[in-house]
Amino acid sequence: MSSRPPIPYDFLPQVPALTVESDDVRDGETLSETQVFDDWGASGQNISPHLRWSGAPEGTRSYAVTCYDPDAPTGSGFWHWLLFDIPAEVTELPAGAGGAGSRFGVHGRNDYSINAYGGAAPPPGWPHRYLFAVHALDVEKLDVNADTPPAVVGFNITAHTLARGYIAPVYET
């Protein structure tokens, strides 16, 4: 196993914190095979985890949920999940809500080039962090669509974020 220095992973503007919880994943703990990708040499179930959140500030008009791997050896990380335009009254997603055809919002294209959740599939060598983040937004709809590149979706999410919270489990092959 190679050693690497820690990589800071939250260069986003400071905003109030949301409380994010899950029945399936825990901060700092290893993802189960349920949340691991089912391609690219991985043989997981590729099911997005259950998530619930609270503490959104006044003015929240929608939510976005993202999963990002800041440790991917790409120079720009790896987007695993972008779900946006989630109505403000939704404060919980069941396991599997990241499947194609989700009724909870719009799935953006991730870095696997699919419009759904794509689980962990890191190259061997070191543990990767998977930031499952919930963003409270000040707009009902982002001005992006399902085929907008992930970094542009992330930029628009950040521009409209009132509060954010996340859970950061890890996975290593």
Reduce the secondary structure of 77-100 to three states and give it as a string.
CEEEEEEEEEECCCCEECCCCCCC
Tokens standing for residue 83:
């779900």
pLDDT in tens, 26-39: 999 999 999 999 98
- Strands of the sheet with 161-167, listed across from one edge: 106-107, 78-87, 62-69, 131-137, 161-167
Distances (CA, A) of 29 to 69, 170, 172: 15, 6, 11
Higher-scoring residue by pLDDT: 11, 118: 118
Contact by Cβ (8 Å): 66, 82? yes
pLDDT band at 10 (very low <50, low <70, confident <90, very high): low
Q: How many residues does the chain have?
A: 173
Fold of 21-171: Phosphatidylethanolamine-binding Protein (3.90.280)
Q: Residue 114, Cβ neighbours under 10 Å: how many?
A: 15
If you average pLDDT over every residue of the chain, what do you get?
91
Q: Taking the model in full, what pTM does it have?
A: 0.92
